[in-house]
Structure 1
């Protein structure tokens, strides 16, 4: 990944380049932004640039030994930490146990999401973490001298998934790392990262990618007609991940739409027996998919509320979702939208805390009966 491969984010690239040219590189940086805005691609491009033996003014050379090793993410001075699941109960699991899958996934960093990464690991119901033993691995790797004689870089993806004990053990290292050592933390939930870690980093906020840049990229890489590219770019909400999913007609999102419409219709009709069966179906999913479904429900409630204002530019729905909204949106108003969103947030918190999913989703379904009456 080079700077030229990062879609949009021109100001961010210029700022990072100026840090290098002016010799002002901070020892720890926190890249934040929504999913698909290009945080990880930018971090990878920055790591390549600072490690490049013959960097140009605007990008790495692409020809030196360092760049050649970065092509397959096998650079001896660029290390990674990321959430994993335990390979065997009772055994310490570290990121290097999954390094082959990780390198393969990084070949297309715009597809890197927690959902995609869990699929690569073959995980279903386990909660991924950066376990405490990883702190020892990070300290060990960074204690060695640079193999290439330049920077040593530690890229930590989703530090919000870091075990608290692991984070506490790294505080001193992040605050006072060895010379020419660079921490790049990439997060989608900065408020969930340990505050003591955040305070030791320089925060770098990335905005969503512009619709124009996404549409241009879609036309070039997927040979889409201009109108189709613009429609997908609008619905992607500034996320390359969303744009790619739209093109792929993401099967999971279609399933979520079906489940959402089923629940709303069953709740409106007060069909308790079918609602119980619906909650048992959702309970059969893995917990990460359950959380993804609840996020989808929040998006749909928000979109249907906004639909009532008749401002198409503010809606980001597929044609099927828009068709459903023509009939459903009148049931979402200022009288119940906050209550529904609060219940969805509560359900997501309970799922995160491993509460029985059958109880969580049946309870939410029953509450929807009352909430829909308040429109």
Structure 2
């Protein structure tokens, strides 16, 4: 894993490279930030640079025996800890039992989520854990002699998933670390890590990616059109993983957008123009949304999408583009629609969409849910 393969994060890369050049590598560092911004690839690239036999000015060489092994995540001085899901048949499992799967998912895509990993090893999004037995493995591995490099690297992905017993064992090692051992902790939720571990690490905040960095990566790595990439980047909130998910969901989002525009226009016409003939169209809309072809999951996705659109249109009125995360076609609609979402109705409208979503989850009759929702929107748009 080379630094050049990591999207953006140029300032952080420079800082990490400088620690190696100046021979001031902290014994324990915590990379933290939201999911999907490249923390794990960055940590692996840093570990490879530390162990590279012929490091270049701004990256590992990529061709020495150490780099070749790192490319396969198979270097003998590189150790991984990550959440696993135990089998009922076999209770005493540790991360080494899942290394083949970890190497496979990393070879398939260097950017993957916590749920992607659970799906890989279990087939569904069940929550993983770093168990007590892994604490014993950490102690055993860091006390080994180095095989080929000057440093041993212990990379712990998602340390917030450690149980208390494992966390306490890690704490003891961090208090008195073996010589030439580097701990790299990579966290999505560092506030969930016990305070005593946090206090013994040098914390490195990994920032969100810029829209330009995400769009460029989508175009160059996935052959996405520039317009589609720019739209996904704009609403990705700095997460490359979220941008990829948005690309996959683009067709669904476009359909939800059309449903949203349709009901808002009909509700406004009925409420503000008194065109009660359009009530028939509102009823038709509610029946379409309740159709079996949409399904309950599709209905929930629409209601979640609508809540985002209400929130984005309320923020749109502040005229601060950096706070908005909308596609070009959503922005175009919001120019005329946003003035109707204000402090008198925004919260109530959000609550109504959220209530409808809960009702759908509870299997309430969907025709009733959507028709009632449409009537309430009609009333709220008159405020």
Please classify the TM superposition score into its range, dividing by the shorter chain length.
Answer: 0.7 to 0.9
With over 3 angstroms needed to count, the CA separation of the structure-2 counterparts of 1:200 and 1:342, relative to structure 1, is farther
Partner of 1:34: 34
Partner of 2:137: 137
Partner of 1:51: 51
* Cα shift at 1:107: 2.2
* Cα shift at 1:331: 8.1
Which stretch has the larger CA shift, 127-136 or 105-114?
105-114
* Cα shift at 1:175: 2.4
Q: 1:306 aligns with which of 315, 329, 333?
A: 315
Partner of 1:117: 117
Which digits, 9 at most, give the CA deviation of each residue in 1:154-195, with x for residues without a partner?
A: 111111112122111210112221011111111121111221
With over 3 angstroms needed to count, the CA separation of the structure-2 counterparts of 1:300 and 1:29, relative to structure 1, is farther
SS of equivalent residue, structure 1 residue 140: helix
Asked if the contact 1:85/1:129 (under 8 Å) is kept, the reply is yes
Which stretch has the larger CA shift, 10-19 or 53-62?
53-62
1:260-271 residue pairs with structure 2 within 5 A? none
With over 3 angstroms needed to count, the CA separation of the structure-2 counterparts of 1:255 and 1:211, relative to structure 1, is closer
Question: What residue ranges of structure 2 are gaps of 5+ in the alignment?
Answer: 268-281, 355-359
The separation in 1 between residues aligned to 2:73 and 2:95, in whole angstroms, is 14
Partner of 2:161: 161
Which stretch has the larger CA shift, 51-60 or 13-22?
51-60
Count of matched residue pairs:
355
Partner of 2:199: 199
Larger-gyration structure (1/2): 2
Which stretch has the larger CA shift, 118-127 or 9-18?
118-127
Which stretch has the larger CA shift, 104-113 or 12-21?
104-113
The separation in 1 between residues aligned to 2:351 and 2:162, in whole angstroms, is 26
Partner of 1:81: 81
Which stretch has the larger CA shift, 73-82 or 232-241?
232-241
Q: Over the residues paired in the alignment, what is the CA RMSD in angstroms? A: 4.5
With over 3 angstroms needed to count, the CA separation of the structure-2 counterparts of 1:190 and 1:109, relative to structure 1, is farther
TM-score (structure 2 length as normaliser): 0.74
Partner of 2:217: 217
With over 3 angstroms needed to count, the CA separation of the structure-2 counterparts of 1:191 and 1:361, relative to structure 1, is farther
Partner of 1:150: 150
The separation in 2 between residues aligned to 1:82 and 1:115, in whole angstroms, is 13
TM-score (structure 1 length as normaliser): 0.75
With over 3 angstroms needed to count, the CA separation of the structure-2 counterparts of 1:24 and 1:313, relative to structure 1, is closer
Which digits, 9 at most, give the CA deviation of each residue in 1:37-81, with x for residues without a partner?
A: 221111010000111122222211222211111111011111111
Asked if the contact 1:40/1:109 (under 8 Å) is kept, the reply is no
Question: What residue ranges of structure 1 are gaps of 5+ in the alignment?
Answer: 283-289, 346-356
Q: 2:326 aligns with which of 309, 317, 331?
A: 317
* Cα shift at 1:131: 1.5
SS of equivalent residue, structure 1 residue 107: helix
Partner of 2:236: 236
